[in-house]
Structure 1
Amino acid sequence: MPHRVVIFDIGGVVIDSPINAIRDFCQKRQIQDLNRFLFSSQAWAALERGRLDWKDFPEAVLRECQEQGHDGAQLGLEGWQALQLAIVEGGGAPRPAMLHAIDRLRQSGFTVAALTNNFAEGSAALGRLPLLFDHFIESSASGMRKPEPRFYEHALRVIGCEPNEAIFLDDIGKNLKPAAEMGIFTIHVQNSHSEQHLEALRKLQGVVGLHLLPSKL
């Protein structure tokens, strides 16, 4: 069955990821990189499921650090509030090549969806970006998040397609694994340097048989 649906993650795929901003913040504070702890924390999971407000996040994640004896506890509440600001300010710039590809896919008859782990306040900051998609499926609105298999199943129901009709792009390997196991074709978007996401678009071009990269990069 030919592919007719392309599903994009948002942060780290369509827009820049806050990972580098978090890493830079930690280097300036001379503490260990908090990315791994932050994105695996219960507080972050609750935030992305819409069960924790953004304003309450610093206190919740600090408490979790203290309970686990994690280095992040030394930041204190003001430090976590500062990191929260760094997350907002350091990520989110749209990637023009990805926006071009989304437009090209839709013009060519593909259904284009977003499947994103997010939080309500972060979603509001996206402005008109969700309007670029036929379906914009958010963890904070559904109460589910990647890599929970039921979130992918929910997305397929919303879109109205079978797994083997879909292609999914994400920058996190563990988020791709359940999709691949369901029969969705997956593409890993790498972000080790600023232009590496273009390699994923080149792979997508080959799968869908369309030229997706802008003529001028």
Structure 2
Amino acid sequence: MPVKPTPVGPYKAILFDIGGVVVGSPFQGIADFELQHNLPVNYLNVAITRAGHNGAFQRLERGEVDLWSFYDAFSDQLSDPRNVAAYAKYAELRSKAFDEKSFKAPKVDGRALFHQMMSKAAVVNPYMVEAIAALRKAGYTVAALTNNFNYPSDERGQREQDLILKETADSFLTAAKTTAGTKGPGAIVMGQDQLKTLFDHFIESAILGLRKPDPAIYKKAAEIVGFKSEEIVFFDDIGANLKAAQNEGWTTIRVLLGKPRQAIEQLESILGITLLAPESRL
């Protein structure tokens, strides 16, 4: 069995958020759903945030509700008329035009929205796959640290995951036909089990009962990977999650929407190694 190389420098473990970093962003699925249903920009994000710590999505990611109960609760939460007033405050703070009196709270199908979110999150970014493989080859411990959920393990749950993967593949093939001839590698569609094989550790909110940005999940993650805070670099796309990691002493890199290579190049600079092949930079 070959000996694993020892990384040079102060960093030993590289942790990755999943949604919006290694895979597509569920937020893009929300944005697409809002556009398709003629909803104001960020209306659904405001509705999800308004529910706070005990919202349907937050509870799903802590493993407190099953998927089927979540669908019902998510639909009710997103259809709540109180979301209109919350969005009016959001719009006012940003000087956005919004007529609260004439806007009627929509009836939102939580399952349909969730499918659209998850279909984005099933498309893996090839640059991140390449970088993760290079990091592991170089001897770094590579882990996922994700707010997630797990599909039910029964036949019904498997059918639901298979349906989302099929919807993803169909959507991706349609997009590929419209962008034929463009440069760059194609996206990769993966299920949860396959995605987990990319990492040395897959640290999940649904298993721990903790979700980012709770400080406890970062402490637990450091314990799982077995390294000190100053030896960890963390990728995420959400500011609050990165700030919480910084408070734990982690080095952080923000992954901006559509700019994964920029984040990887920042990591290359920090580590002093090359992670992407020349053809991946074209």
- The TM-score with structure 2 as length reference comes to 0.70
Q: Deviation at 1:68? A: 6.0
Mapped partners of 1:186, 1:68: distance in 2 = 38
| SS of residue matched to 1:132 | coil
Note if contact 1:39-1:45 (Cα within 8 Å) is conserved in structure 2: no
1:113-192 alignment, distance < 5 Å:
113-121=143-151, 125-191=191-257
Match of 2:45 in 1: 35
* 1:64 pairs with 2:77: yes
For 1:44-100, what per-residue CA distance to the aligned partner results, in whole angstroms no more than 9, with x for missing partners? Answer: 110100001222223212333455611495224xx2222122123233211111011
When residues 212 and 122 of structure 1 are mapped into structure 2, their CA distance, relative to the original with a 3 A threshold, is farther
Larger radius of gyration between Structure 1 and Structure 2:
2
| SS of residue matched to 2:124 | coil
Mapped partners of 2:130, 2:46: distance in 1 = 31
Note if contact 2:48-2:77 (Cα within 8 Å) is conserved in structure 1: no
- The TM-score with structure 1 as length reference comes to 0.90
> Which AA in structure 2 matches 1:49?
R
Aligned length: 212
Match of 1:96 in 2: 126
| SS of residue matched to 1:187 | strand
List gaps (5 residues or longer) in structure 2.
1-8, 85-103, 154-160, 162-190
> Which AA in structure 2 matches 1:9?
D
List gaps (5 residues or longer) in structure 1.
none
When residues 66 and 36 of structure 1 are mapped into structure 2, their CA distance, relative to the original with a 3 A threshold, is closer
Note if contact 1:97-1:214 (Cα within 8 Å) is conserved in structure 2: no
Note if contact 2:75-2:111 (Cα within 8 Å) is conserved in structure 1: no
Deviates more, 1:67-76 or 1:105-114: 67-76
> Which AA in structure 2 matches 1:38?
I
Mapped partners of 2:233, 2:152: distance in 1 = 25
> Which AA in structure 1 matches 2:266?
K
| SS of residue matched to 2:123 | coil
Mapped partners of 2:132, 2:58: distance in 1 = 28
Mapped partners of 1:215, 1:175: distance in 2 = 31
| SS of residue matched to 1:127 | helix
When residues 40 and 135 of structure 1 are mapped into structure 2, their CA distance, relative to the original with a 3 A threshold, is farther
Note if contact 1:15-1:91 (Cα within 8 Å) is conserved in structure 2: yes
Mapped partners of 2:37, 2:275: distance in 1 = 41
> Which AA in structure 1 matches 2:47?
F
When residues 46 and 203 of structure 1 are mapped into structure 2, their CA distance, relative to the original with a 3 A threshold, is same
> Which AA in structure 2 matches 1:107?
K
Mapped partners of 2:47, 2:266: distance in 1 = 31
For 1:139-197, what per-residue CA distance to the aligned partner results, in whole angstroms no more than 9, with x for missing partners? Answer: 00110000000000000011111000000000001000111111100001100xx3x11
> Which AA in structure 2 matches 1:56?
S
